[in-house]
Each structure stands twice: as structure tokens, then as C-alpha cells.
Amino acid sequence: MLSFDQKSTSTSLHAVFDASANSSNEVSLNSILWNAEQFNENFFYHLEIQNLQKLNQFAPVETYRLRTVTYGTSAPLLATTAFKVLAQEEQKEFPQAAATLLTDVYVDDILSGSNNLETTKVLHQLIQLLKKGGMELHKWVSNHPELLHDNKNLDFVFSSESNSVKTLGMQWRPTSDICTFQVTEELNYNFSKREVLSNVARLFDPLGRIGPVITSAKIFLQRLWLQKLNWNDAVPPNDRNDWLKFLKDLAAVNKLEIPRCAIITNPVTIDLHCSCDASDKAYGTVLYLCSKNESGEVQTSILCIKSRVCPIKAATTTHLELSAALLLAHLVSTDFYYSGTN
């Protein structure tokens, strides 16, 4: 059988072998295979000769060490450590690629760039560096066509026919260099607290670009939690109407278009402005990047948003504002801080 994965950009078709599946004539491969005679019929004889074998079940227990990753298990720590160690060991031979590997990797994606085509050197260094670690880079994509066209030997170059590529919870359109969101939520008029949590968990946004939207969903989920509903209990009618309205309004997120580049062309100054605030339901912080060129033109972009829902236990406004300031301090270390109106 062939399994089709529409979201895959490199291998959309996968061969699936199921010998127990019935064909059109209701017959499976396993059902018509010839059943061989039973081997090792002289069972007691083999019990006697097992003492002559190298491995004996009655021998003392020996210790073996698995020197590879256990197959099928999630090992993000080992993967990220492998990147780090490889970059440190090969830093002298591939300085630019090593710096990129240490700072510009998210999970298994390398997200990097440059202001000129000098990036080509980094590209070739990355290929050679990762090959030394037994890894091969593929699904290349760039907002500058010449960068990929001049490197015909790249494997699995991302197709320009695809309109966008998914990264950091967003859809990036390389041709227009714009980031968008693709949120799809099915309207179900009979849903439980479990389904609400599932919908909220699918809103993946590590940069917090739609932080206010996700915070509203988390506030609603906290409201359900205070009602002490079981996971499979139906949401009360009033709350159900509020959640359905939220899901309908969520479609507006797909209309957002955020420029990928957060600074102006040829900037002479770049400032980072940070602000935080709190309410009785949530608190958060936002980072703005302000850049100015020689002509005096200024571009301001939202760099990151972080927010938290207020705890169920009541807290004073001052305490929540300090919590917002602490969240901001964890996000950045220097530059500008604003709390309240000061």
C-alpha cells in the first residue's frame, strides 16, 4: 500500500507493507503462505546440548552497553548535544558554520541568513561540517533565488512551486519574505474541556507573535478549570457560546502578514525597547526593535511577546506587575525597561 502525506515536502509517498491486509478478493498474504513443519521437534535433545553453547541461560549475568540511541525513543538532548560538540570540535576548520550551528538552530532546522551573498560560504561550510557528523542537509529554501541557483549540487532543494514553508509555528513565504499563520479549527458544537485544551495546545507560537490571542484562550481554559469540570464533561452553554465565538474570530489570524526582516535596510542605529504590564487576568511583556538609517527613516517591529495567565490564587496588582517585570528580565538582560507609565 502507499500512504500519502500531503504536508511532506520531500517524501509525500510512503510504501506501507501490511501482509495481514485483505486484498480485493478478501485474501491476505499471510493467509495463503505455506506453513512449514515444526523445527526443533527433538526438544529435549536441544535442552541437553544448550550447555555446549557459548551463551548459557544459567551462566552468570553479563553486562552489555548500548552505544547508540535506543531506536524509537525521543532524544532531543542527544541531538542538540551532537550539534554542539560537532561545532566545537570543527570550529577551526569551519568557523562560520560552527558559529551558525551554535546559535541558529531550532530543533532540526537551521535558520540563518546574511545581508549579502557571502552566505554562500556559510552554506558550503555547513554542508561539509554536517557531513563530518554523518548528517546531510536538505530542503533548502531562501528568499534570494541566486543563492540556491548557483548551487546546483544541493540535494532536495526546496521547490519554488510551494508557496510557503513552515518554521517556528509560522508559514514563511520566501518570494515575498512574509510570515503568516495558518490556523484551522473545526467548529464542534458539543465539546468537552479536553477538546478545548487540545485546541489551545495546537496554537504553537514560540515567538509569541499572536500572544494576546493564545492568552485569551488560556484565560478561558482557566475559567473552565475553576468550574471543576471533568475532562469529558460538556462545556456549559454560556461558556460554549464564548468559545465558539473565539474559534470563529480565530480565522482573522490567518490574515496577518508579518515581514520576516525586523530591521530597516542599512541601519545606523538599532535599539531594543522592552515593555511589561499586568491586569487581573494576565501579565506579559513585549520586545520592540527600532532601527534607523542614515536618511532618518525609522522602522519599528515587534520582536517577541511573552505572557502568562494570572494564578488562580488572588494576587495584588503590584505583585502581578512585578511578575511581569521578572518575566521581562528573564527575556532580556540589558537595554530599556518600562513598567507601567514610568
At 117-132, the pLDDT tens digits run: 766 778 889 989 999 9
Task: Kindly tell me if the per-residue pLDDT of 295 is higher than 80.
Answer: yes
User: Taking residues 309-337, what's their average pLDDT?
Assistant: 84
- Can you tell me the mean pLDDT for 252-257? 92
Rounded to whole angstroms, the Cα distance separating 84 from 117 reads: 26
Cα distance between residue 45 and residue 49, in whole Å: 7
pLDDT of residue 342 exceeding 80, the answer is: no
Say what the pTM is: 0.69
Higher pLDDT, 316 or 13: 316
Looking at residue 277, what is its pLDDT?
Answer: 95
- The answer to whether 127 and 137 are in contact (CB under 8 A) is yes
Report pLDDT for 283. Answer: 96
Q: Which range is most confident: 72-86, 105-119, 158-172, 235-249?
A: 235-249
**Across the beta sheet with 282-293, what order do the strands follow?**
298-309, 282-293, 267-278, 336-339
- CATH 3.10.20 placement within the chain: 261-334
Is-contact 98 90, C-beta < 8 A?
yes
Strands 336-339 and 2-4 turn out to be unpaired
Nearby residues of 309 by Cβ (< 8 Å), 6 or more positions away: 215, 218, 219, 222, 281, 282
In 3D space, the residue among 216, 212, 179, 174 whose CA is nearest the CA of residue 199 turns out to be 216
- Has residue 215 got a pLDDT over 80? yes
- Placement of cell 534570494 in the chain: 144
Which percentage of the chain shows pLDDT scores above 70?
77
Nearest to residue 137, comparing CAs of 113, 158, 119, 155? 155
Which range of 32-46, 56-70, 81-95 scores highest in mean pLDDT? It is: 81-95
CATH number of 261-334: 3.10.20
For range 180-186, the mean pLDDT: 83
Q: Is the pLDDT of residue 176 over 70?
A: yes
- Choice among 116-120, 149-153, 201-205, 265-269 with the minimum mean pLDDT: 149-153
